[in-house]
Structure 1
């Protein structure tokens, strides 16, 4: 058997489901390299005062949960995959949330829309890094339905490692060969673990190895092959291992082969079957080429790359790439160009998605060094076969790397967004991370979005963002092109929803609201739902009572419209001496709207003695407006039209109170009071 890797397809399903608004990528085996987020980082923190009013905690739709599936036990720290089926039993389309809870706490919440009678499988990848070993109850829940299961997290020691696997390249059928490998304990404690020797995946020998922390040991196995052909010999510990290829022949085959070969290794015997082996490893590709790690052929030829339609019997049509002609012998790191195959036509010129591909060595049966397998519909340049007459193959999962400059029209725009619970000043919120393929904007919606108010729910939008990743993106609220608001800041704690939007008209201006959803629509996931994430926003308390105006200057707590010397506003200083006192202002802290007609420069109030009594009063506590023998408004040679009791605006006192520090406007007296502050 030349190649022993199973040629069954490796299916990696990318499930992008709106997660509490979040676009969550879930891949089998973390094929895209994205690690699941630890539980402690994903548990939503809700304000206790708002929990009773949170009608959308699990959505309004009556989705039914069934067929919950998960492992019963796993090592603590592993990623545990939980799946369940959701069904909308109603005839109408419906929307709502689905939650995964561990021991009662919400670990992840997703927002879904299901058509009438639609069913869908949801998957949660739960990282238990922060969860201690123990028994837990977990489940998947909607507004009115749910299923639960038990999970045991087991504390496990670090796996022993394997290195320096050693075995002969060739062996004789039914004769033992010696296999050695170095086993090391990289953990912090003494441990005992099983170590296996395998042939083509089957355990042929096993030993238990006990090692102190930091200790290593060479283990030895006696392995007896029971089949001829090329096989994979391996040594495994719990989480580590190494492979080595070994060719097994029947007794006497080596002598026959030697007689059939000349000095340079070419096969001259008519009865010698051509042989090949190939190693094709999982890899990341630019979409137009793949690399074959190693191929060894007895007669030279080509390496063809097939897609997984080969597994459905599509032998010729499955060829999507072929190498140049290769000479007999070993080739390492052989690059194979895709979608350029003689005799084949393709609609695409590169891989459009991650997928399993199959590498197959082919003979050059007509000796023209041109691959004619497709052009002749399989009659020329057929594949190398193993001892069971099956084609020699190896498969690999190929991940297509992101191309930031890919302008192909058929590439769907993609985005992810992370919006975390936060405290806000009420006028801005912060997006932790957003990644867009085509750039655009991040819109902030209030929870009326959940009532299908797609346009009216927009209360904020970011500036235009370039394609790629943006961290800590600040979004201003209540300033949205095309929208009008009664508020200019959040007035209460609430859940908001972040949604990346495209710039569909390429003008770098957010036109979604202004065009009533005609332009700049949202990024969508694979199910056609908007990519979103929600967060609970707490409005910070600024310590100032509502509707209270603080008009004082920053320098000192002076009353409104007061001068720097603490003197009350609107106090005139008509005909005062040149004492540096501002117009209409006394320098002695006198109440507003008190005139100081014909006053001296001793700071004494109008027509009053200097004993500190009220304006126009004698020093014997007489009532206001009682002069020292001359009543107000009497012709005593002094213009005493201004009372000392804070007169109303428009009072005439012979002074022009037009500047900002006097009484309210519209006074007129014909005088020009250009005051200088002393």
Structure 2
């Protein structure tokens, strides 16, 4: 065989080996794509809190699952936590016991267990301390992952014998997020004594109103709540009316009261001012092409006037460049995880230039 043929054969073998290496490497890259390119799944959680008897010093979580680790927070009639679990590693945990804090309230009555993330990775719960900036709840369909149950005293022969009973709830099935709804609950005193108890109204687990009710023995009475839905999150929400050891639930569908929008009021080299109607908890982002150059503070659902967005200190913006102001659902501190808000299958955004916005604002000022 000639040396030319041997060399040609060798070249073909080397080419085949290189092709095999490329195919194998490509398979490895594709298999690791989520990790390599930073594509993460949304954090997930689930929790089961069952009705139980106790002595007021502890409550047991039947099961909790956390994809990224975190905490279980127990609340009662108010928004402040009654007790917070130790840090829980990612995975499933059964029969998790949370013990009453020294000098804390008794763990008795209608309790809600909510699963929170450890967003700052310090294994210390700081949601209230940071005003909701860190250790946010896990979400499912936009709502905190939680479960509600009744913990009754083990000393009571009949755990509900001393509690008023919520016989029924009458509430509208639909409403908008800028009206006042009327919810009527019928409450009965099943005891042989005239007594007094709190009756609470909750929307999606949050206590919005509390009334003190006096009932004679065996008396029933209607309790009326006038609830302002302004600022509530659109979607299907749970309405609950609770007494000391009883409660009843129904659902209401809340529709955002206006079309989502963002309107530029003014702009200069430092930032933008906008009027906003946002249906979810989120923020305004100013975009220069594919780059976010500034975000507003986090906004609650509703209408907001004169929302300010300061440009990032390293951003250089041409006053004649086309910019976009867009609405996002999520945390402005984690823009990559936020979701664009859509209306009729289109992103809610508006385009503008600093020059035009500034001129329009100056013209409006002259007209006044």
- TM-score (norm: length of structure 1): 0.19
Instruction: Determine which structure has the larger strand proportion and give its number.
Output: 2
Q: State the TM-score, normalized to the length of structure 2.
A: 0.33
Which protein shows a greater Rg? 1
Greater relative CO, 1 or 2 (CA 8 Å, sep 6+): 2
